[in-house]
């Protein structure tokens, strides 16, 4: 909850609703990237150790634990070999939430883009915690405003929700600087759910900008999943009266007959989406468009499809 008069991001959702929605993801949120954690979980660890999954045989060397000796193989081949197993680990996931003013917009969507992104983050957190994964939170605008380290304890959900609701809107976005800075703060290896409208990523409209950003994060061993949050008004541009369009981040207003520019605007937007998706694929990241006009559950299912 907000402690002062600064407008803050509101989740607008009860915990039981989150848990109910998290049921949709139960047992289905398989993140394909190889991540490293400090608890046993559903995800493969690059280290071999105690696990149910057989990895390979290796010749016995003195000092090896005799319990790993494969006696059946010795009986067949008269050789001492040791069984090795793929070690499983838990997931370290970070919800990176854009809290810039451009997310504080509700057109014809169900709620503000920021709230929608927060709800998505909360549901994902809930689902991952139930899978004993460690979940952290990063809120950013022009700079990183909130950082919660990844934890897999049950109370982590409450921490995350409270942090989200206490985060004020930031007047501007500086995604590049922020995300580069984030790369150095994160512990090695994990998954980043980047929930943003990504308008800042297009500021210079130079190709490969997003790929460069993801590449720097990936160097730290992180898998990036971009949840592109857009309002239906941004996707469809349903205006038809002469309007004075004003930006949310201090852009100059512009008077336009929407009927005249609609086609060109939609072309621009679609091109941007396509380039984002293309760049994401190029660097092995995932891209999922989330319209705030859709029900949250539908978007979660869509996310699952993206992750397959």
Size of the site for another protein (CB under 8 A): 41
SS3 (DSSP) at 45: strand
Please pick, from the candidates 172, 203, 212, 298, the single residue that binds another protein as defined by CB under 8 A: 203
Quick check: 247 binds another protein (CB under 8 A)?
Answer: yes
Whole-number Å distance between alpha carbons of 127 and 157: 10
Contacts of 197 (CB under 8 A, 6+ apart): 98, 102, 103, 113, 228, 229, 230, 234
Please pick, from the candidates 231, 286, 291, 293, the single residue that binds another protein as defined by CB under 8 A: 231
Quick check: 202 binds another protein (CB under 8 A)?
Answer: yes
Q: Closest CB to another protein among 238 and 284?
A: 238
Q: Closest CB to another protein among 266 and 306?
A: 266
Please pick, from the candidates 42, 236, 289, 301, the single residue that binds another protein as defined by CB under 8 A: 236
| Contact region with another protein (CB under 8 A), list: 21-29, 34-42, 72-80, 247-255 | 247-255
Contact 290, 111 (CB under 8 A): no
Give the pairing of strands 54-59 and 92-98.
Answer: unpaired
| Contact region with another protein (CB under 8 A), list: 63-71, 226-234, 277-285, 297-305 | 226-234
Angle between helices 209-218 and 175-185 (to 10 degrees): 10
**Residues 64-123 within binding reach of another protein (CB under 8 A):** 102-103, 105, 107, 113
**Residues 248-287 within binding reach of another protein (CB under 8 A):** 248-249, 251, 253-257, 259-269, 272
Least CB distance from residue 209 to another protein, whole Å? 14
Please pick, from the candidates 52, 241, 305, 308, the single residue that binds another protein as defined by CB under 8 A: 241
Reading the block at residue 199, the tokens are 């308008």
Q: Closest CB to another protein among 144 and 261?
A: 261
Least CB distance from residue 106 to another protein, whole Å? 9
Please pick, from the candidates 54, 71, 74, 245, the single residue that binds another protein as defined by CB under 8 A: 245
Contact 36, 189 (CB under 8 A): yes
Region class of 144: left (phi > 0), else alpha (psi between -120 and 50), else beta: beta
Quick check: 234 binds another protein (CB under 8 A)?
Answer: yes
Reading the block at residue 305, the tokens are 């499809």
Least CB distance from residue 241 to another protein, whole Å? 5
Query: Cα dihedral sign for 275, 281, 285, 287?
Result: positive
Which burial class, exposed, middle or buried, applies to 110 when counting CB atoms under 10 A from its CB (0-12, 13-18, 19+)? middle
Least CB distance from residue 263 to another protein, whole Å? 4
Mark out the alpha helices in 131-194 (DSSP H runs).
156-165, 175-185
Report the C-alpha dihedral over residues 238, 235, 266, 287, rounded to 10 degrees.
180
Q: Closest CB to another protein among 41 and 141?
A: 141
Where along the sequence are the contacts to another protein (CB under 8 A)? 102-103, 105, 107, 113, 197, 199, 202-203, 231, 233-234, 236, 239, 241-249, 251, 253-257, 259-269, 272
């Amino acid at each position: 909850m907000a402690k002062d008069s600064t407008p803050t991001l509101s989740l607008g959702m009860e915990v039981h609703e989150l848990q109910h929605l998290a049921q949709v993801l139960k047992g289905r949120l398989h993140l394909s990237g190889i991540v490293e954690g400090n608890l046993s979980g559903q995800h493969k660890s690059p280290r071999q150790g105690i696990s149910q999954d057989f990895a390979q045989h290796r010749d016995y060397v003195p000092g090896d634990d005799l319990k790993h000796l494969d006696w059946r193989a010795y009986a067949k081949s008269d050789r001492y070999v040791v069984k090795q197993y793929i070690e499983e680990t838990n997931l370290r996931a970070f919800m990176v939430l854009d809290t810039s003013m451009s997310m504080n917009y509700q057109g014809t969507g169900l709620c503000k883009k920021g709230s929608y992104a927060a709800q998505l983050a909360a549901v994902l957190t809930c689902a991952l915690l139930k899978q004993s994964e460690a979940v952290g939170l990063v809120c950013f605008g022009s700079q990183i405003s909130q950082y919660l380290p990844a934890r897999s304890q049950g109370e982590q959900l409450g921490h995350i929700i409270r942090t989200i609701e206490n985060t004020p809107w930031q007047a501007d976005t500086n995604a590049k600087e922020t995300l580069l800075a984030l790369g150095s703060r994160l512990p090695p290896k994990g998954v980043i759910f980047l929930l943003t409208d990504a308008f800042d990523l297009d500021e210079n409209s130079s190709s490969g900008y997003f790929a460069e950003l993801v590449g720097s994060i990936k160097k730290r061993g992180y898998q990036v999943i971009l949840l592109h949050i857009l309002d239906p008004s941004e996707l469809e541009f349903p205006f038809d009266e002469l309007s004075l369009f004003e930006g949310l981040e201090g852009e100059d207003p512009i008077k336009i007959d929407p009927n005249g520019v609609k086609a060109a605007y939609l072309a621009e937007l679609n091109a941007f989406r396509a380039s984002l998706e293309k760049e994401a694929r190029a660097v092995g990241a995932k891209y999922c468009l989330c319209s705030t006009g859709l029900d949250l559950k539908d978007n979660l299912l869509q996310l699952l499809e993206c992750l397959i």
